[in-house]
């Protein structure tokens, strides 16, 4: 299951960085390994209440906990199948929506449509529009600002160095709010609003200092041509992309790994509790480790198709364009977390790439690829549901002796 998440979800998160050639494959691997595992262990050690109780009324399964176990395993198998199929065709789909669709299908067939928490399902469906929409608007505005303040100037290298500290500070704040503060809260460290502001500003200043030292090493000859100015300016945005990529991977590890291993953790907790479905159990660390390991292996072995789709085929990306897309996606996740709007990391980043493309004109977009991506999003929940129903009956039949 998590191999499919790595080949699709994590590949999507890394696609802007690799597709724009802002970072090398080796740097991408190092970032993926370090920040995926760190994010998973710091932020992903608690089973999501949405996965456990938010979609179906689990109280109806108290007398038949084995059916709940079959349902969770069927959800994992359904997610594995859909994520793998999408990865083969290079289509970025949401692990969150896949798992939720699978649980919806299982709940509807086993317990009936009345057992579903329809309000939660509707809110999730709304995120199909909010995720790419908000990120697209942010990316459009951010890239327009980059064009006007840096790229359109006669000396873009000078202005890139001038405004880079501001962008670095924004990256640090986004990284803190999207990952670090959430990770501390998941670990049981109580944080007030003032605490979050202090941590965010502190990390923002730290990232600004480190990034500025790296950018200082980038120099240009006094007699450089305008083309050389642009090429060197893109190197500065490449440095910015190192930090934005790390932030997005950390957030991915803290959110999506927990969602992916959530069904297995739910099964383990039910077995350990002697069949009780009550309460929210902590995810066992071995499942988090296996989840993060599977995600990284999935990226390394089969992430190329999704990386090619999002990083190259939607629109032509350079480090400056990729930076605008990735930072916008990060801030969209932050905004969504603060306001309670459910968003998909996959759809957020794709929407941001679309926004950057639109800033260059509709002709800069590959409308055929965009159509295929939107169709895959629409199909994700029903596909997850159908696969889960099929797998549930296979498991129930195979283990009928357990009853």
CA–CA separation, 117 vs 163, rounded Å? Answer: 47
Each as own residue / partner, the long-range contacts of residues 25-28 (CB below 8 Å, 24 or more positions apart, any chain) are: 27/242, 28/245
Q: What is the domain extent for residue 149?
A: 2-402
Express each pLDDT in 138-187 by its tens digit: 999 999 999 999 988 888 888 999 999 999 998 888 777 766 666 676 66
What confidence category does residue 52 fall into, taking pLDDT thresholds of 50, 70 and 90? low
pLDDT (0 to 100) of residue 54: 61
Residue from 117, 71, 90 nearest 263 by CA: 71
pLDDT of 374 > 60? The answer is: yes
Phi first, then psi, for residue 232 (nearest 5°) are: -70, -35
Express each pLDDT in 349-369 by its tens digit: 888 988 988 888 777 788 888
pLDDT (0 to 100) of residue 393: 92
Structure tokens at 230: 């642009």
Q: Which whole-number Å values give the CA distances from 331 to 29, 214, 224, 325, in the listed order?
A: 24, 24, 35, 10
Number of domains, the chain: 1
Structure tokens at 302: 């089969």
Chain-centre distance for alpha carbon 251: 7
Between helices 193-216 and 226-272, what is the axis angle to 10°? Answer: 140
């Amino acid at each position: 299951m998590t191999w499919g998440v790595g080949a699709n979800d994590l590949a999507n998160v890394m696609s802007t960085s690799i597709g724009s050639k802002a970072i090398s494959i080796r740097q991408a691997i190092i970032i993926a390994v370090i920040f995926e595992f760190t994010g998973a262990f710091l932020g992903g050690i608690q089973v999501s209440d949405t996965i456990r109780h938010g979609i179906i009324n689990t109280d109806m399964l108290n007398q038949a906990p084995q059916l709940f176990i079959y349902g969770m395993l069927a959800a994992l198998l359904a997610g594995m199948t859909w994520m793998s199929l999408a990865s083969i065709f290079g289509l970025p789909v949401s692990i969150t929506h896949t798992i939720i669709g699978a649980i919806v299908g299982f709940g509807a067939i086993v317990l009936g449509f009345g057992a579903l928490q329809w309000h939660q399902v509707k809110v999730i469906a709304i995120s199909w529009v909010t995720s790419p929409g908000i990120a697209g608007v942010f990316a459009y505005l951010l890239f327009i600002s980059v064009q006007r303040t840096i790229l359109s100037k006669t000396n873009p290298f000078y202005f890139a160095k001038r405004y880079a500290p501001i962008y670095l500070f924004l990256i640090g704040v986004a990284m803190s709010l999207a990952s670090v503060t959430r990770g501390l809260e998941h670990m049981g460290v109580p944080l007030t609003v003032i605490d979050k502001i202090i941590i965010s500003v502190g990390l923002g200043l730290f990232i600004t200092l480190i990034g500025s030292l790296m950018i200082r090493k980038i120099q240009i000859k006094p007699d450089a041509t305008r083309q050389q100015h642009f090429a060197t300016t893109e190197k500065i945005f490449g440095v910015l992309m190192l930090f934005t990529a790390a932030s997005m991977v950390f957030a991915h590890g803290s959110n999506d790994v927990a969602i992916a291993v959530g069904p297995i953790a739910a099964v383990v907790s039910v077995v350990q509790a002697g069949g009780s479905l009550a309460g929210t159990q902590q995810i066992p660390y071995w499942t988090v480790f296996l989840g993060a390991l599977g995600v990284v292996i999935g990226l390394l072995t089969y992430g190329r198709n999704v990386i090619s789709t999002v990083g190259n085929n939607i629109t032509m990306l350079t480090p400056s364009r990729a930076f605008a897309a990735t930072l916008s996606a990060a801030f969209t996740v932050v905004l969504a977390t603060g306001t309670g709007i459910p968003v998909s990391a996959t759809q957020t980043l794709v929407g941001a790439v679309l926004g950057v493309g639109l800033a260059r004109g509709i002709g800069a977009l590959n409308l055929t690829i965009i159509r295929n991506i939107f169709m895959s999003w629409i199909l994700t929940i029903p596909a997850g549901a159908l696969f889960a129903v099929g797998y549930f009956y296979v498991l129930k039949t195979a283990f009928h002796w357990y009853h």
